[in-house]
Structure 1
Amino acid sequence: MRSDTLTDRLALGVEQGRLPDLHAVVALRHDRVILEHYGEGEDFRLNEPLGRVRFTPDTLHDVRSITKSVVGLLYGIALADGRVPEPCEPLLRHFPEYPDLAEDPRRAALTVEHALTMTLGLEWDESAPYTSAANSEIAMELAPDRFRYILERRIVDEPGSRRSYCGGASALLARLIEKGTGQAVQEYARARLFEPLGITRFEWSTGEDGVALAASGLRLTPRDLLAVGRLVRDGGGGVVPSSWLETALRPHVRIDEGSHYGYHWYVGDTWTGGFGNGGQRIHVAPALDLVVAITAGQYNRPDQSTASVVLDEVILAGIGR
């Protein structure tokens, strides 16, 4: 199917009001761009209003929780560099600054893999808006010591038994990267992931202490978001070890009937993806040789369906799959 047909489908969806707050979409199939669209709308840098933005290929955009998936890739690079612990290693062994927490046998049994799969079993709730301290991620950022805040949460599930969405897990992984490399995670990302991918411009929002927000702070252009998805499609592209991706993209824990969680990536029967609040999406479908990057502005809303409509009703329907 010709790319202009997909463009027509997208234009019709916008005209009919089925794609509210769509900011951009770039889709690649057989290494050819089959759809590229930039819109206009209200946008934010996390909770900072940016006003009405006319998006272009060069406009940086919050990717929100796709940041977590990028941290997962960085962990694999750092592991190959011998800078971070193996997934099977006890987590608290690498946070010796909290000996009191390690005295709890159940807490001492937590492993790095529990963080990678978000199966720490700790009390954590991100159901409140990301503007409220009732949200555990926001409370973590407001805490005097974010890492103690995470690690001292009450254990409510057997570790490894159930995935519970937890930005704190991403913060712990990023801290291990920083401890092992001696670099801020954003600088390690620049040298070992972004520059090898040809990504020269990005932003990574930080907390008041200057620490990068590993759960949600990354800003990329849609084309550069696509480059991350393309790397995943290509088995790491010589940047991320292929052996790490094979493990990271394996279903480790069930989320629901149609999806599992790997090492900070979502895994379906025929696809792999990264998801972010507001409608941010990386979608990789290897059998279709398809990579899609979507950005949108449906932040903190109950209905964030725009990205799914673009993917299902415009792209997948348009290519006949």
Structure 2
Amino acid sequence: MNLSRISAAVVPLHLRSCLIYRQEKLIFEHYRHEQVKHETAKINSCTKSFLSALICIALDQGLFPPPDTRIGEYVPMPDKERGDWRKDITIRHLLTMSGGWRWKEFGGINSFPQMTRSQDWVTFAMEQPMANPPGKMMEYNSGSSQILSHLLVQATGGSITSFAETYLFGPLGINDFLWEQDPQGIHTGGFGLSLRPVDLLNFGRLYLQQGQWENRQLISSGLAVHSVQPAIRVTDPWSGSYAWHWWCDSFEEDGKPSFDYFYARGYGGQFIYVIPSLETVVVLTDDRRKRERPPVDVFPRLIAPYL
């Protein structure tokens, strides 16, 4: 570990925050301003990984349907499409973004912005045309996350925030947060959660410890480990693999794998990296306009080489 090299590389970037936790200690802590330490901010698509955790907890409690359950048992299928591939979509396909819909997350037709302007996000997501058989290809799709959020509300019989406060946020000490909702009042599964940098760090630590927090198993170790294993290869411009609403990749030096890691990723520079072999968690956050932001490869280029 070369903290001086990491500091020299990271501090000039003026990130909102950078935290590095290793072997049960917070060894590096940088904030653009001291108040950032105490302020919540949008974590964008890192929200997806928190949703994954809540689904794992609900699975542990026997509340959530098994991963290979077809979603048509819980979500109405568009009448005109009863004969197509969507009848075979399972919860596992939603978790791994491999439902098979034709979807462009940003811009263009069938996109995320169009969903957020619709009056019923789940119906919008379900009605998109199919492009592939479920499970064949990963296509980044926040509509899948919203369907999962809808299923979680059905399974728990209450709001997602109430469930989170009892079984995840409360134990992790997350008591100051915001979480947006869709027009039906369901909390957004793919984005919309606002947290402090330390909350992201503690969430990463929970997975580093295979679901355990302060001698309490918040997520069963089996699900905590399984949910972050590579499930399907991703396509350009992404690299690595996708798990249950987590990304997976490897850091290579001189063309050879050095260590594997999994991570939560949110638009605009929000990241939670977990490196089990090094007992390390790295959190990066930012809030600047696109033109002012550093490249998205801060971790693999400026931090990973010195871990």
User: TM over 0.5: same fold?
Assistant: yes
Residue by residue, what CA displacement relative to the aligned partner does 1:223-263 show, whole Å, maximum 9, x if unpaired?
11001101111101111121112221121100159510011
Give the distance between the partners of 1:279 and 1:236, measured in 2 at CA: 25
Q: Is the 8 A contact 1:197 1:227 kept in 2?
A: yes
| Identical pairs, percent | 29
Instruction: Look up the match of 1:35.
Output: 28
CA distance in 1: counterparts of 2:274 and 2:2, whole angstroms: 20
Stretches of 4+ moved more than 6 A in 1?
none
Listed as ranges, the matches of 1:301-320 within 5 Å are: 301=290, 305-306=294-295, 308-309=297-298, 311-319=299-307
Q: How large is the Cα RMSD of the aligned pairs?
A: 2.3
Write out per-residue CA displacement over residues 181-205 of structure 1, whole angstroms, 9 at most, x where no aligned residue: 1111122111111111121211112
Shift of 1:302: 8.3
Over residues 12-33 of structure 1, what are the superposed CA-to-partner deviations in whole Å (9 max), with x where a residue is unaligned? xx1xxxx2x5111111011111
Deviations along 1:121-144, one digit per CA (max 9) or x if unpaired, are 11211132xxxx857222222222
Specify the alignment match of 1:44 in structure 2: none
Amino acid at match of 2:227: A
Structure 2: how far apart are the matches of 1:65 and 1:101?
32
Kept in 1, the 8 Å contact 2:46–2:270? The answer is: yes
Query: Is structure 2 residue 246 aligned with structure 1 residue 265?
Result: yes
Structure-2 residue corresponding to 1:47: none
CA distance in 1, matches of 2:4, 2:162: 39
CA displacement, residues 67-103 of structure 1 (integer Å, 9 cap, x when unaligned): 01111111111111111111111111112x4472673
Per the TM alignment, residue 164 of structure 1 is displaced from its structure 2 partner at its CA by 0.2
| CA shift in 2, pair 1:135/1:63, >3 Å | farther
Task: Output the TM-score relative to the length of structure 1.
Answer: 0.84
Letter in 2 for 1:265: W
Q: CA deviation at 1:283?
A: 0.4
Gaps of 5+ in 1: 41-53
The equivalent position to 1:161 in structure 2, one of 121, 133, 136, is: 136
1:283 partner amino acid: Y
**Superimposed CA distance per residue, residues 26-50 of structure 1 (whole angstroms, 9 cap, x where no aligned partner):** 110111111111115xxxxxxxxxx
Is the 8 Å Cα contact of residues 20 and 26 (structure 2) preserved in structure 1?
yes
Residue 271 of structure 1: SS of its match in structure 2?
A: strand
More displaced, 116-125 or 204-213? 204-213
User: 2:44 aligned with 1:69, yes or no?
Assistant: no
Gaps (5+ residues) in structure 2?
251-259
Partner SS, residue 26 of structure 2? strand
Task: Name the SS of the counterpart of 1:33 in structure 2.
Answer: strand
Deviation at 1:297, TM superposition (A): 2.2
- TM superposition shift of 1:210: 3.0
Contact 1:296 1:307 in 2 (8 A): no
Task: Provide the residue aligned with 1:50 in structure 2.
Answer: none
Partner of 1:146: 121
**Number of matched residues?**
292
Moved more, 268-277 or 1-10: 1-10
